[in-house]
Chain A
Amino acid sequence: DIQMTQSPSTLSASAGDRVTITCRASQSVSDWLAWYQQKPGKAPKLLIYKASTLESGVPSRFSGSGSGTEFTLTISSLQPDDFATYYCQQYDTNYTFGQGTKLEIK
Chain B
Amino acid sequence: EVQLVESGGALVKPGGSLRLSCVASGFNFSNAWMNWVRQAPGKGLEWVARIKGKIDGGTTDYAAPVKGRFAIFKDESKKSLFLQMNSLETEDTALYYCTLDGGRMVDAPNDYWGQGTLVTVSS
Contacts and interface: CB of A to CB of B under 8 A. Distances in A.
A49 B35 CA distance: 17
A95 B38 CA distance: 12
A1 B64 contact: yes
Interface in B1-45: 35, 37, 44-45
Interface residues of A, number: 23
Nearest to A99: B44
Contact of A46 (B108, B114, B116): B108
Contacts, number: 64
**Which of the four size classes fits the interface of chain B?**
20 to 34
Of listed B37, B44, B45, residue having the most chain A CB within 10 A: B45
Given A1-B64, A95-B50, A44 B107 contact: no
A56 interface: yes
Interface stretch (A17-25, A63-71, A76-84, A86-94): A86-94
Interface of B: 35, 37, 44-47, 50, 61, 63-64, 97, 104-105, 107-111, 113-116
Closest 3 CB pairs of A and B: A43-B113, A95-B47, A49-B108
